[in-house]
Structure 1
Amino acid sequence: MANSASGMAVHDDCKLKFLELKAKRNFRFIIFKIDERIQQVIVEKLGQPDESYNDFTSSFPADECRYAVFDFDFVTDENCQKSKIFFISWAPDSSKVRSKMLYASSKDRFKRELDGIQVELQATDPSEMSFDIVKSRAI
């Protein structure tokens, strides 16, 4: 099925939920995890449209890797309402080396499955994905 060169298989639900976030805005964010038992990336958590960026960042486990997408709304200097979809690769320093390697080797394949990502961030601690950093990358 999947090998370390191509990364993990991606569960269909990941793509379906991402399309809902992108097209219908049914979710504010999606947290994904690799389920090693079934060798697939799966949906771990869906953030409701009214949830905040703080709700999103507090959904990450402190010592385990994850992937996530976040639909970031902002207002430009010209007062235009905009939105960008962020892909965040979360690999805290405290996570296991094997897990970091697995997520790193599977990231590109997984990202290719999610058509419409506009900005990518990699974070090893919460400060690397602070609201200010995300806002500065969005504009």
Structure 2
Amino acid sequence: MSHQTGIQANAELMKYFGKCRDGKIRVLKVSIENEQLTLSKYQPVKGTWEQDFDKYVPSLIEDEIPCYILYRFDSTNSLGHEWLLLSWSPDNAAVRHKMLYASTKATLKQEFGSSHIKDEMHATSKDEVSLKGYKAHVSGVNAPAPLTDREEALKELQQNEHEPNYSTDSRQSTMGGVAFPITETAKQGIFDLQRGSYNYLQFKIDLEEEQINLSKAAVITLTQLPEQVPNDEARYHLYIFKHTHEGDHMESMVFIYSMPGYKCSIKERMLYSSCKGQFLDIIEKMGLEIAKRLEIDDGKELTEEFLYDEIHPKRNLHRPAFAKPKGPPNRGAKRITKAQSTQ
């Protein structure tokens, strides 16, 4: 994952990242100071992670000043203890600061180690930065999204399709789309996109693990969009296209499936093509309304004019009347034939 802002952890913080995994540190606060990720505060383990949460976390945040908080759970994986990455970005913070922290979060995750982060949470108000707020976040992530009338009808249709039907009028699909699960990090990225933390997400299929991962999350400009598209690998992208249409400001969610021709393996081309429909179903059930679905083979296609024309296609309201084509020139006078009567 590339650095989006150029801001990286300073030497002290990088050294502490290695030290804090010894099991003695419960929480650390990271801030952006002098264009660097800097260690602000830390606290040791006292009780269980639930007992320590309200004791430490609320006191680490400040009004109007974003920060990152890395909080250690008691659970472990093959690499050691698992952590929560909490992004504090209050609503009354300066827009520049909120964008800076949002676009630097991917760098922090990479330098701390994404595999150590079990969960991510974005908080904008103080009541969220508590044990009760975190548990509400967990319940919201795990709870299934409510279905619309259309989705209920689609679900019923899909259930009916799986029931045996051997009549002569039945038509069965021989092969459906492949349904790879999306990771928790990918789900959290989608929630963060909805909250406004990002305007761009990129997803990659892990061919070995058979799951869809979040490979990039950032705040970018439209001119930076083409360079996000790899020229040798397939990807899924979500981008919020901000524009004006007929005097109204609009923010349209665009899904982009990029496949750079035959530079990818046959397996990769088939999996991305097969997983696309199921992936779109998942993100739409999470509450994202896709204004346009695009397929491209080169990032250079993603210009402002191209996106605008795809979302607002021009309509031809004045169709010309049909004009009978002229006959070939110099064909002579039209001949009139007359049937002869038989005697």
State the TM-score, normalizing by the size of structure 2: 0.33
Q: Does residue 112 in structure 1 map to residue 113 in structure 2?
A: no
CA RMSD of aligned residues (A): 2.5
> Which has the larger displacement, 125-134 or 43-52?
125-134
1:21 partner amino acid? C
- Residue pairs, 1:16-95, within 5 angstroms: 16-22=15-21, 24-35=22-33, 37=34, 39-50=35-46, 52-54=52-54, 55-73=56-74, 84-95=82-93
Q: Deviations over 1:98-138 (max 9, x none)?
A: 11011011111111111111111111112223313434639
Q: Is contact 2:66-2:88 (8 Å) kept?
A: yes
1:96 aligned to 87, 94, 97, which one?
A: 94
Higher normalized contact order (CA 8 Å, seq sep 6+, divided by chain length): 1
Check the 8 A contact 1:47/1:56 in 2, yes or no: no
Deviations 1:25-65 (A, max 9, x none): 22110000000x2x100000011222721222211112100
AA aligned to 1:95 is A
**CA apart distance, 1:97:** 0.9
3-state DSSP of counterpart to 1:94? coil
Percent identity (aligned): 26
Q: Which runs of 5+ in 2 are unaligned?
A: 76-80, 143-343
Quote the residue 2:125 is aligned against: 125
Q: Which has the larger radius of gyration?
A: 2
TM-score by length of 1: 0.77
Distance 1:67 1:56, change over 3 A: same
What count of residue pairs does the alignment treat as equivalent? 125
Displacement over 4 Å in runs of 4+ = none
Aligned in 2, Cα 1:62/1:41: closer, same or farther, shift over 3 Å? same
Instruction: Go from structure 1 to structure 2 and tell me whether the alpha carbon gap of 1:84 and 1:129 turns closer, same or farther (over 3 Å shift).
Output: farther
